[in-house]
Structure 1
């Protein structure tokens, strides 16, 4: 994912947590904030150390990034922060994809 599509700075994460709206299911919590001047979506990912070692956490992050890259055209142009919960560590990509689609439909972010 290109740098302009990422949320990396702590102040940007805090802004989304503070002013954004959260949606959740058993596997993910997604914070969404809408900026009228934004021309593309931005994504921040948080995976806790409780989910596994560095290899497992990076695998989860790669899968989440891949989902957003594949579905970029369908998603609204907003800022997203995705937080993974414990059941994600045992899921394969297709299960994660289904779960993320479910949360984003709840959030009404899919066109």
Structure 2
């Protein structure tokens, strides 16, 4: 995932929180908002309440890798913010990917496979 595909600035996070739509399951909350780019961007938020730095960084790596694997099926005209909940700390990579796919399907941003 390129650096240009990441949302880093607090102002961009706040804009997506205010104007975007949110969708959730037990492990993740996803905010989505239309963007003007021809690629999607993601911002990650994992609170210190979820775990120590090792756990938080592992969750972020899993989320980024899941998005890389879902790259072809995710709607590219949107910005996404993914917030990990406490229960995300116990998931392995495959469970993380499955949970993210579920919440993205609820948000209707995953294209159907043909």
TM-score by length of 2: 0.94
Aligned residues: 110
Question: How far did 1:73 drift?
Answer: 1.0
Q: Which runs of 5+ in 2 are unaligned?
A: none
In 2, Cα distance between equivalents of 1:59 and 1:109: 24
1:32-111 matched pairs, under 5 angstroms: 32-35=32-35, 37-77=36-76, 78-111=78-111
SS in 2 for 1:108: coil
* Unpaired runs of at least 5, structure 1: none
Supply the RMSD in Å over aligned alpha carbons.
0.7
Q: TM-score, normalised to structure 1's length?
A: 0.96
Question: What is the CA deviation profile of residues 62-89 of structure 1, one whole-angstrom value per residue up to 9, with x for unaligned ones?
Answer: 0000001111111001100000001110
The answer for the alignment partner of 1:17 in structure 2 is 17
Structure 1 moving runs of 4+ over 6 Å: none
